[in-house]
Structure 1
């Protein structure tokens, strides 16, 4: 299978060379294709998948193209990448156009995200906690503020039941922009009492 994937990577680099210098690396059990560190396509099990853009999504949906599916903890997660079939490989002009759209869209998205503050940049929030928040649908600072510390903590506990009140305090501090130890004593006490009471009420 690796041989097939490497052959497809070589073919992609050759056909899509007008996009620039294309690099690849392992990702999600396959390989990402990048131009200047911007991911615009994936190769998985010997097949090429293009990142969806506003322009290309219409084309791929009309063609009923398959999405790239990634297995995580036994769950199938459909990624926002569409399969390039043999008909599209035969139409090099269309393939290049869709690939260009994918690259431009990925660049815009990367610039937009770069301008936003990452969750892990907030006080108390580690990379692993950021990943957990993403898994429960809290992917940015604005969403975290909208949910608030208590609701965000409850969502995290649905993912990991043993999560303690220390994480609740960390979330509250992150929202306030301070280290959890700097939270007002009354706020800390109220959160700890509420957290313990909530945990007791939940079935084991």
Structure 2
């Protein structure tokens, strides 16, 4: 009926009131997210909304199919439900259901962040978590609020041997990437900032006069 590109473009158009919708590969298809909060998936040319309380009654009443993927040869049901032709034909309803899915995903993310430790983020193990705590970064939210560059500068102040890989690791942890998978434009911007930070640090270390 539709190909994935058309489904994504149609979703972005109809759901534009939710905000800018970013697309990434996920679950053998594509995830749709607003401000890094995933609320829907496009797989095999179909759109699926993330399960939430606001969607539950509709799913039960209409017997909406659930997203099934194959994992190690076994079918696995995910908490995403198909957008049927009936829903596609009612753009207002689709937008409303998607808004509920997004709000539910945001709430779940906030709950998870309250429980999540720094070491649970990509690239951050127990050692780096300990170092961050020593410079006043003790929660996932405080890491996000401070940003990778500020955190790196704090760490650098107590560890002069700190290198650019730690900066990549911090940015990846915040963005949800393994540091090797950071987008090239982000990597280049961080490299330029890193070189400038080193130069400024070297100048400030020189004795005056």
Match of 2:176 in 1: none
| Aligned twin of 2:14 | 15
Q: Report the CA distance between 1:119 and its aligned residue.
A: 9.6
Distance 2:51 2:36 in 1: 17
1:38 match: 37
Aligned pair count? 124
Residue aligning to 2:27: 28
Give the structure-1-normalised TM-score.
Answer: 0.57
What is the rounded CA distance, in whole Å, between the counterparts of 2:116 and 2:6 in structure 1? 39
State TM-score, norm by structure 2.
0.55
Cα offset for 1:120?
5.2
2:116 partner SS: coil
1:97 pairs with 2:96: yes
1:67 counterpart residue number: 66
Distance of aligned partners of 1:118 and 1:67 in 2 relative to their CA distance in 1, 3 Å threshold: farther
Gaps of 5+ in 2: 126-209
Deviation (angstroms), 1:57: 1.3
Alignment of 1:131-142 (within 5 A): none
**In structure 1, what is the Cα distance between the partners aligned to 2:91 and 2:107?**
24
Alpha-carbon RMSD across the aligned residues, in angstroms, is: 2.4
Runs (5+) with no aligned partner, structure 1: 127-204
Q: Deviations over 1:161-192 (max 9, x none)?
A: xxxxxxxxxxxxxxxxxxxxxxxxxxxxxxxx
Cα-to-partner distance string for 1:45-95 (whole Å, 9 max, x where unaligned) = 100000011011110121111001111101111100000011101111111
- The residue correspondences of 1:21-170 to structure 2 (distance < 5 A) are 21-118=20-117, 121=120
